[in-house]
Structure 1
Amino acid sequence: MTSLVCLVVANMVGAGVYTTSGYSLQALGSPTRVLAMWAIAAVIAITGAIAYGGLSRQLVRSGGEYLFLSRAVHPLAGFMAGWISLLAGFTGAIAFAATTFVNYLPANLQIDSSREKTLVAVGLIICAALLHLFRTGTGAIGQNILVCVKLVAIALFIAIGLAAVDWPSAGAAADSAAAPGPDFSTYANQLMWISFSFAGFNASIYVAGEAKLGRRTVRRSMLFAAIGVSVLYLLINTVFLCTAPQEAIVGRGDIAAVVAKHLGGERLGLAVQLLVALSLATSVTAMLQAGPRVYVKMAEDGMLPAWLIPDGDVPRVAIVLQAVLAAVLVCAASIHDLLDYTSFLLSVSAGATVLCLLLPRFRGQPGKRPVVLWPVLPAFFVVATLGIAVVGCLYRYQQSPTSLMLSLAVVASGIGVYRVRPGRSGSR
């Protein structure tokens, strides 16, 4: 249970929580509105954790979205979910986190040139891969330690920040929320970006087959972690938005560093900078642990080459493949574009997976449904998640039509690979 919770936390807590609120404050104009978006995103994530828990109770195997969609809908649907994970969900996210990690290292390390930054980012990926290439327990223990250190540091920062909040001023900021706000599309766009900070709440399902008492621990770990991270996000964003002057943080992508320097000077600013770097490092290790399990399951079903299937418990070849793909993306110039182009596909994949709870294979029987408030709870998550995906797609199309075309290219390439995959029926 501890390792599963730490895996989910490590997947969830990345760069997003330390950077998003400055931009959201600029778009929404009020700290209260920004916190409201974080609260809504938290509800969606917790609902998703419950829904994924309902799926995991019925099929306790590693594989994630691929597993459920291939069993409930069609092998092609599952393959597309796995293909998206391979090209963007894990590979792109690992590359982005590793690249961002370098930007939060102390300036006195003098890592300035593009070549040096690339080498450090690739080095982080290699170290994270080595952590998981041996016994599963060894990698899990190392990751648990890193996550616990990160959570303690975040808790200390929150305590310092809450003690410094000027609550009368915070109340005045709340009153400003009564003024007319932006239009619906602006709220939807900000909710979309904030929701991506909660991505990873379902990380346990990728390693469910290796979990002890998986039917119980997998679903509980997702729920506990989603609730805990949601509380953490609301508290840390309260500190971000209610301590430093609003003009100092509006539109800032480094809002965490700005607030830390305001609270404790350069020393606390450096500490928070290292905290963000640690968060990104644990995100890389967590994704390198979860992602390869999806590809192993796809290989077992004949969807990917058989050489990905491990001889023992550790999917070493799949881990190396994941690390190599991420390292290649680090060396490319379009990592951020790749994430922009494909992020809405990840929302579609999650929404489609929870939709399986409404289909015959996973909806259970009257009086014995897989989740509480069935079918309202899964339907809410599907509508909310797909709505965010549609808004994101339209927004990106307005900004750059190329983004939609590349997203469609991912789908088209996945269908092409599916048609020429190894001709095996695989396990069912």
Structure 2
Amino acid sequence: MSTHSHQIGWKTAAAIVVSNMIGTGIFTTLGFQLSDITNTYSIFLLWVIGGILALVGAFCYAELGSHFKGNGGDFIYLKETYHPVFGYLISWISLIIGFSSPVALAALAMSKYLSVFNYSFGNGFAIIAIFLIAMALSFSLKTSSRFHNFFTFVKVIFIIFLIILGVGLSESPQIGNSLNFSNSWQKEILLPAFATSMVFVTYSYTGWNSASYIAGEIKDVQKNLPKSLIIGTVFVTVSYLLVNYIMLKHAPVSQLAGKEDVMGEAAVNMLGLSFGKIVNIFIALQLIATVSGYLWVGSRLTQAFARESYIWKPLSFGNKKGIPVIAIFAHAVIAAIIILTGSFKEIFVYTAFILQLFASLAISTVYFLKKEDRKIFKSNTFYIFPTVFLLFSVYILYFTLVHNLKESLIGLGIVAVGIILYLIDRKLSEKS
């Protein structure tokens, strides 16, 4: 029997990239951007830059993933290149922010989209939804796969259907639209708000690194990993541009600015109240795949981290079928706490800020790969990728820190707690 039977091809890898990327961000962030940036060219430019950054980031991760064999991603890159404290910190960030915050945000967005039914689906609903999904992932790998694949299928079909419908339907002259193709973009792209809007965009593209976490499971990795990343990222970028176009086409700025359930607003204008409600239900349903994807991957990374740690050891235990049940529910509990302690936008900003910071640290490890270590890009022009990523990253992080100081400090506070825990963990493991 060939070893390839347990490996996935580029199509499955691309599907993982797509299902991990398309989630909360695209359906919630336009309202925050429109508070300051209203030119359609500026908004499209934000999403194109986000796509390019995701792609160059993905190329760096493809190279790192094929050099540091096996699964583990940033944890291995940072621990091996810099110092074990960075490996510990990225695991701590993954536990608290990287995987639990997106679960919280997706569940909050779900409750927001369902509030079209004149019933307040509040935080309680969001928390119950998280625990129900966590339960669905706790039986066996087969059940988890079926559950996740079904909702991922719903997600992709829904996005395609929505794009065809939204592009095809003409806008309502009574309601108006947000499309603005004037020259004001030239001023807007120089505003600090343009840089802080990038934070919402880079968050919406998170997941570009997901295929590199499973580099060990992709057959003919040198060829198939870059292929899956390029195809997945291009598909997502085009989808994001079209979804934004639809929202701008079917609703005026005054109706969208500052709101989270932007697609729902546009859908009701587009299809009338009763069909608009159906779109809201589907947006909520496709977010189930987002929650399940983050709980699935997050619990596996947390389990691996917990095995090597003294404090977190209990999180490494699984059930009889080998499912890391304790880690799954740990993420669910942390997500519930996050929901109870912050507003949607606040959680969004500190999550995006810290994830951008740690993605930059992980990308910087590429500079330490020798030419003979690189498996995919042999030429030294390869260094353009990490350099472009890091320059944009510094620009985004600087403006976010200056203009969203409170949220940035919350994020940095969580990192500081991680450093203290690392020192305690090391002391306790030395004693034992």
What band does the TM-score fall into relative to the shorter chain?
A: 0.7 to 0.9
Q: CA deviation at 1:127?
A: 2.2
Number of residue pairs aligned between Structure 1 and Structure 2: 412
Q: Which residue of 2 aligns with 1:9?
A: 18
Contact 2:371 2:378 in 1 (8 A): no
Which residue of 97, 106, 114 maps to 2:106?
Answer: 97
Q: 1:56 to 1:39 in 2, by over 3 A?
A: same
Contact 1:92 1:329 in 2 (8 A): yes
Q: CA deviation at 1:12?
A: 1.8
- Kindly provide the amino acid, as one letter, of the partner of residue 198 in structure 1: Y
Which residue of 73, 78, 87 maps to 1:69?
Answer: 78
Alignment of 1:34-53 (within 5 A): 34-53=43-62
Contact 1:132 1:138 in 2 (8 A): yes
Contact 2:188 2:194 in 1 (8 A): no
Instruction: Please state if 1:301 is matched with 2:305.
Output: no
- Kindly provide the amino acid, as one letter, of the partner of residue 395 in structure 1: H
Contact 2:67 2:374 in 1 (8 A): no
Instruction: Please state if 1:381 is matched with 2:392.
Output: no
Instruction: Please state if 1:276 is matched with 2:276.
Output: no
Q: Which residue of 1 aligns with 2:3?
A: none
Q: State how far apart, in whole Å, the 2-side matches of 1:224 and 1:127 are.
A: 33
Q: CA deviation at 1:417?
A: 0.8
Q: Which residue of 2 aligns with 1:267?
A: 274
Q: State how far apart, in whole Å, the 2-side matches of 1:199 and 1:91 are.
A: 14
Contact 1:53 1:220 in 2 (8 A): no
Contact 2:349 2:408 in 1 (8 A): no
Contact 2:317 2:324 in 1 (8 A): yes
Q: CA deviation at 1:377?
A: 0.9
Q: Which residue of 1 aligns with 2:165?
A: 160
Q: CA deviation at 1:284?
A: 0.7
Contact 2:42 2:189 in 1 (8 A): no
Contact 1:64 1:294 in 2 (8 A): no
Which residue of 329, 333, 344 maps to 1:324?
Answer: 333
Q: Which residue of 1 aligns with 2:399?
A: 391
Q: Which residue of 2 aligns with 1:226?
A: 233
Contact 2:302 2:315 in 1 (8 A): yes
Q: State how far apart, in whole Å, the 2-side matches of 1:335 and 1:248 are.
A: 18
- Kindly provide the amino acid, as one letter, of the partner of residue 415 in structure 2: V
- Kindly provide the amino acid, as one letter, of the partner of residue 73 in structure 1: Y
Task: State, as a whole percentage, how many aligned pairs show the same letter.
Answer: 24
Which residue of 127, 133, 148 maps to 1:128?
Answer: 133
Q: Which residue of 2 aligns with 1:213?
A: 219
Q: 1:218 to 1:121 in 2, by over 3 A?
A: farther
Contact 1:41 1:195 in 2 (8 A): yes
Query: What's the secondary structure of 2:69's corresponding residue?
Result: coil
Which residue of 146, 149, 154 maps to 1:149?
Answer: 154
Q: CA deviation at 1:178?
A: 6.3
Alignment of 1:407-426 (within 5 A): 407-421=411-425
Q: State how far apart, in whole Å, the 2-side matches of 1:343 and 1:250 are.
A: 20
Query: What's the secondary structure of 2:425's corresponding residue?
Result: coil
Query: What's the secondary structure of 1:158's corresponding residue?
Result: helix
Query: What's the secondary structure of 2:122's corresponding residue?
Result: helix
Alignment of 1:79-118 (within 5 A): 79-105=88-114, 107-108=116-117, 111-112=119-120, 117-118=122-123
Which shifted more, 323-332 or 65-74? Answer: 323-332
Q: 1:30 to 1:371 in 2, by over 3 A?
A: farther
Structure 2 length normalisation: TM-score? 0.84
Q: State how far apart, in whole Å, the 1-side matches of 2:344 and 2:31 are.
A: 22
Q: State how far apart, in whole Å, the 1-side matches of 2:108 and 2:287 are.
A: 9
Which residue of 346, 362, 375 maps to 1:353?
Answer: 362
- Gap runs ≥5 in structure 2: 1-7
Instruction: Please state if 1:237 is matched with 2:241.
Output: no
Q: CA deviation at 1:405?
A: 3.7
Q: State how far apart, in whole Å, the 2-side matches of 1:213 and 1:310 are.
A: 30
Contact 1:7 1:286 in 2 (8 A): no
Q: Which residue of 1 aligns with 2:5?
A: none
Contact 1:54 1:371 in 2 (8 A): no
Q: State how far apart, in whole Å, the 2-side matches of 1:354 and 1:140 are.
A: 30
Q: CA deviation at 1:310?
A: 4.5
Any idea what the Cα deviations from partners look like across 1:93-150, whole Å, max 9, x if unmatched?
2122212211212544x643xxx73442222212221232233343123212211212
Query: What's the secondary structure of 1:156's corresponding residue?
Result: helix
Q: CA deviation at 1:352?
A: 0.7
Q: State how far apart, in whole Å, the 2-side matches of 1:127 and 1:273 are.
A: 20
Which shifted more, 39-48 or 86-95? Answer: 86-95
Contact 1:344 1:390 in 2 (8 A): no
Alignment of 1:17-28 (within 5 A): 17-28=26-37
- Kindly provide the amino acid, as one letter, of the partner of residue 261 in structure 2: D
Q: State how far apart, in whole Å, the 2-side matches of 1:371 and 1:407 are.
A: 37
Q: State how far apart, in whole Å, the 1-side matches of 2:296 and 2:49 are.
A: 29
Contact 2:353 2:408 in 1 (8 A): no
Quote the RMSD (CA, aligned, Å): 3.1
Q: Which residue of 2 aligns with 1:188?
A: 195
Which shifted more, 280-289 or 413-422? Answer: 413-422
- Gap runs ≥5 in structure 1: none
Q: State how far apart, in whole Å, the 2-side matches of 1:119 and 1:244 are.
A: 30
Q: 1:59 to 1:307 in 2, by over 3 A?
A: same
